Amino acid sequence: MNGTNDSRDWLAAHGVSEVECLVPDMNGVLRGKALPAAKFLKAIEDRALYLPSSAFLVSIDGRYSGSVDEGFAYQDPDMRMVPDVATLCLAPGGGPGKAYVFADAFHMDDRPWMASPRHVLRAVLDLYRQRGWRAVVAPELEFYLTAPNPDPDRPVTAPVGRNGRSESVQHPYDMAALEQFEPVIRRLYDYAAAAGLPLDTLIHESGTAQLEINFLHGDALPLADKVLLFKRMTRQAAQEGGMQATFMAKPIAAQAGSSMHLHMSVVDEAGNALFAGRDGADTEMFGHFIGGLQKYIPEVMPLFAPNVNSFRRIRPNHSAPANIEWSHDNRSCGLRVPAGGPTARRVENRLPGADANPYLAIAGSLLCGYLGVEEKIARSTEASGNAYRSRSTLPKTMEEALDRFAACDPVRAVLGEDFFQTYLRVKSVELDLFQSIVTSWERDHLLLKV
């Protein structure tokens, strides 16, 4: 769709009476406005749809994190919301007659609001376009189905399946175990088909009631949009089935964490693969791309592990790599080169959690690789065996990760001060809020002993 007339025809053809105009924030939370269809069409024409700029300063607990500029924070000026009509799709989980559309944020003088995660990803993709390249990505997203958890002080538990029982042991890749959640899965696939999400395979992962969905490879920005829609639809499908769905990185202490593995390759303007030569060998560019990931991933971990809970997942031998080693088809490495022919040559970044903002995780991964090519960074010797034993250069805590991120000048120069200041502000406030909480572990082990 290219404009108002195309959008009007589409809305009429699908019987849409309400459009949710979505603006993803720093945490990937969908903020925005719900509009009658007529108001949405008018907003496309007159560009008079607004949202307070503080939408990008909301922390994960719903509080405003403020701004480094106190005057700006109290003025809270509006941003212009410009719907990206190419993203218009049905919203099947939201009831009949509803549609979704993503919107981009702009200043009133039409400058992009560069704190916006969609603009951040575009900025990185523009670097590729300037070189005559196109990035191809494929996310793999893990999540848990759980029993309702109305009391956050109680641990998360597995839901009851179709057989009337809850899983109590691991069932990796088990088709009979997957079948226990067939009503929710079928509803989810129906929703995804109606919204045009490019889903590929679904498996039962190693955790109890833990599933993984693979997306078909494609362009980065549309796939980031679709990851967020998939999360929303999954929560809706689970709730309708009497369950909940969580994309928390480590929701259950004794179970595997949930990741968002990112497969990445690069092609030229003619669609030719740039990571493998005609002889099938890795190109120099591919080696440098991996080298860039190895150098810069430890410095930009908040883009892959954005919450305190994220670091509970990234521990050796906890079904998630805690290193930046690379190897062919070795899942103990943070960077894995999957099996496949030259046209499928790619690298999988296994470090992002399912809780990561997909725009920022994809932008960070592609930027690290790009800088490796630009700086001609050599990759390390290929790892072999159990890479969990390798020494980790990754930050161990959110506090350390934020300090290293703030000091990463090459990435900061590309992503810009608007984004860095906003993201660091939100994440620092969230960290402070967490550190002010006394946990049940502290009460259990310290209250009557120290």
pLDDT tens over the chain, length 450 residues: 666 789 999 999 999 999 999 999 999 999 999 999 999 999 999 888 999 999 999 999 999 987 666 656 567 889 999 999 999 999 998 889 999 999 999 999 999 999 999 999 999 999 999 999 999 999 999 999 999 999 998 999 999 999 999 998 888 888 999 999 999 999 999 999 999 999 999 999 999 999 999 999 999 999 999 999 999 999 999 999 999 999 999 999 999 999 999 999 999 999 999 999 988 999 999 999 999 999 999 999 999 999 999 999 998 766 788 999 999 989 999 999 999 889 999 999 999 999 999 999 999 999 999 999 999 999 999 999 998 888 889 999 999 999 999 999 999 999 999 999 999 999 999 999 999 999 999 999 999 999
Q: Tell me the H-state helices in 115-181.
A: 117-130, 175-179
pLDDT score recorded for residue 71: 59
How far apart, in Å, do the first and last CA atoms of the chain sit?
A: 65
166: Cα separation from own chain's centroid: 29
Domains delineated in the chain? 4-112 (3.10.20.70), 124-415 (3.30.590.10)
* Distance from C-alpha of 415 to C-alpha of 409, rounded to nearest angstrom: 10
**Are 243 and 184 contacting, i.e. CB atoms less than 8 angstroms apart?**
yes
3-state secondary structure of 38: helix
Read off φ and ψ for residue 182, nearest 5 degrees: -55, -40
* C-alpha closest to that of 366 among 30, 26, 138: 138
